[in-house]
Amino acid sequence: MSIAEQNNITELTGQNLNALVERQRSQFRAEGEVTYATRIDRLKRLKALIVENKTEFAKTTKREFGGARSYEFSLFSEFASKVEAIDYSMKHLKAWMRPEKRKTNKPMNFLGGKSQVRHYPKGVVGIISPWNLPFGLTVAPLTSALAAGNRAILKPSEFVPETAALFAEIVPKYFPEDEVAVVTGGAEISQKFAALPFDHLLFTGSSKVGAKVMQSASKNLVPVTLELGGKSPVIIGRSAKLDLAGTRLTFGKLLNGGQLCLSPDYVIVPKALEAQLIARVVHEAQSMYPNITENEDYAGIINETHFARLQSYLDDAVAKGAKLTIVGADQTRASAGNRRMPLHILQNVNDDMLVMQEEIFGPILPVMTYSDVAEVPDMIEPRRNPLALYYFGKDKTEQAYLLNRVQSGGVCINDITLHYVQEDLPFGGVGASGMGAYHGPEGFRSLSHARAIYSQTMIDVLPIIGARPPFGEKFRKNISKILGAI
């Protein structure tokens, strides 16, 4: 990185954050219409950024995980899927930008009145991204922001400083600062960033931090999209194919070492099927990740703080009566410097345990049991509004019962996490797991202003219906048709 680039990064992380927002907003105003061609050009540049720098970013993220991060997982989850999302947006952008015709009320519709909605860019969008998928969860919302015609300022997580620095080095090669800029720095800079007068702010992270971000944004009445987390349950129905459910549950739980906002947090299974499901999960974990603590396909815990947090959940659960099974290893860690934590299965859990109160974000799988599906909504209620709900089974009545009684951001039936990569589906939470959505058309709309436009001919409509003072009998009759006798 050149000295000039280093100085630029220092400047952006200092006292000139407001000036940066105003610089982008000034260029946004000067630009006027953000044409289809301009948006496509920006999306193509973003795609080139991904394709041309994937290896360096993937290697950097691996280093940030202490070397314990799957290179192939990074290539798929953070790069290939984001290229597909950009291609999808470019394919559909023209249709998204097209004005939407709307109905016009009588009698204006008979007198030349026309109504429509047009989606205009909001202006300057702030994006705060997390450490667990530091590239993908920066680029995904940026795709929606650029498709909607906005400019953007990125704030990568301070917990992955090398990745943040690489963003600050690479982004200026594809975008001028007044289009897309990068701000790096620690917690103090993040707090200042959340309080900037953006036209929209998108945050991905924990519910606790999300509440603080929303509070900061509210001081400038900045609308927010919050992508949070929560304890996403897996419900095993009696009609489920247990082998399939066990395979997909294990795969989803151990992706990135369980450090995904959509990771299945705990499983609820009929008591009679508990042993069979656990046996399948154990078998699949050992098949996918033999010698798990040295396995290059498996991700380690990001740092010692998070490792200690997970260990405290285990200690608390065991002390309160939970049965612990460690899969594929004799103990929680193979050595002091090895943070590849094997899968830990907890049975006999209850709501008093920390592991059932906090989002796990690691390879710990609590198992709860039920006798009747009618018990399940009340079992989930203390952990309400998860980001995802996972159901395995063929019983459509049972599916409908659960969907109508358990709120969640999104739903996957007979699979785990794959709703996230369906670009035509919105991705977002509800309640404690977030607000707003992005991806595909919802991302375009969330980061656009849906502008109501009504146009009328030169005919003066109001006197025709008597709606201009002095009001007379004609107007009262028109009102009485709507309200009844007046």
CATH number at 239 reads 3.40.309.10
Report whether pLDDT(275) > 60. Answer: yes
Q: Specify the pLDDT at position 371.
A: 96
Report whether pLDDT(137) > 60. Answer: yes
The active-site residue out of 169, 261, 359, 423 is 261
Percent of the chain's residues with pLDDT above 90: 81
- What would the DSSP string read from start to end of 258-293? G-STTS--EEEEEGGGHHHHHHHHHHHHHHHSTTGG
The answer to whether position 87 is within a domain reads: yes
Residues 46 and 121 in one domain: yes
pLDDT digits (tens, 9 = 90+) for 27-37: 999 999 999 99
Residues 303 and 403 in one domain: yes
Q: How far apart are the first and last CA of the chain?
A: 76
Kindly state the average pLDDT of the residues 434-451: 95
Kindly state the average pLDDT of the residues 402-424: 95
Residues 22 and 168 in one domain: yes
Q: How far apart are CA 252 and CA 263, in angstroms?
A: 6
Domain that holds residue 473: 456-483
Give residue 15's pLDDT band: very low, low, confident or very high (50, 70, 90): low
Q: How far apart are CA 386 and CA 260, in angstroms?
A: 13
CA 281 to chain CA centroid, nearest Å: 27
Torsion of the alpha carbons at 369, 372, 375 and 377, rounded to the nearest 10: 90
**Domain total of the chain:** 3
Q: Quick check: is 412 catalytic? A: no
The answer to whether position 335 is within a domain reads: yes
Q: 74 phi and psi, to 5 degrees?
A: -60, -45
The answer to whether position 180 is within a domain reads: yes
Give residue 79's pLDDT band: very low, low, confident or very high (50, 70, 90): very high
Instruction: Note the pTM of the prediction, 2 decimals.
Output: 0.91
Q: Specify the pLDDT at position 8.
A: 44
**Token pair belonging to 27:** 């260029």
Give residue 98's pLDDT band: very low, low, confident or very high (50, 70, 90): very high
Report whether pLDDT(432) > 70. Answer: yes
Report whether pLDDT(10) > 50. Answer: no
Kindly state the average pLDDT of the residues 418-445: 94
Residues 94 and 193 in one domain: yes
Report whether pLDDT(237) > 90. Answer: yes
Residues 80 and 12 in one domain: yes
Residues 290 and 416 in one domain: yes
For residue 61, give the H/E element and its range: helix 36-64
List strand residue ranges (DSSP E) for 179-255, in order: 180-182, 200-204, 224-227, 233-236
201, 183 in Cβ contact below 8 A? no
Q: Specify the pLDDT at position 5.
A: 43
Residues 161 and 276 in one domain: no
Q: Specify the pLDDT at position 253.
A: 97
The answer to whether position 121 is within a domain reads: yes
156, 184 in Cβ contact below 8 A? yes
The answer to whether position 313 is within a domain reads: yes
341, 332 in Cβ contact below 8 A? yes
Please tell me which residue, 238 or 112, carries the higher pLDDT value: 238
Please name which of 34, 48, 55, 125 lies closest in space to residue 82, comparing C-alpha atoms: 48
The answer to whether position 338 is within a domain reads: yes
Residues 273 and 349 in one domain: yes
Report whether pLDDT(6) > 70. Answer: no
Handedness of CA 6, 9, 10, 16 (dihedral sign): positive
Residues 319 and 211 in one domain: no
Report whether pLDDT(329) > 50. Answer: yes
Torsion of the alpha carbons at 461, 467, 468 and 471, rounded to the nearest 10: 150
Could you tell me how many helices (H) and strands (E) the chain has, helices first? 16, 18
Please name which of 220, 247, 228, 224 lies closest in space to residue 236, comparing C-alpha atoms: 247
The answer to whether position 433 is within a domain reads: no
Rg (CA), the chain: 26
List strand residue ranges (DSSP E) for 377-481, in order: 388-392, 410-413, 427-428, 434-435, 437-438, 448-455
Strands 388-392, 364-370: pairing is: unpaired
For residue 324, give the H/E element and its range: strand 323-327
Q: Specify the pLDDT at position 288.
A: 95
Residues 202 and 278 in one domain: no
Q: How far apart are CA 250 and CA 449, in angstroms?
A: 41
Domain with residue 216: its CATH number is 3.40.605.10
The active-site residue out of 227, 284, 398, 423 is 227
Q: Quick check: is 227 catalytic? A: yes
Residues 120 and 202 in one domain: yes
List strand residue ranges (DSSP E) for 76-136, in order: 100-102, 114-121, 124-128
Report whether pLDDT(456) > 90. Answer: no
Residues 279 and 222 in one domain: no
The answer to whether position 57 is within a domain reads: yes
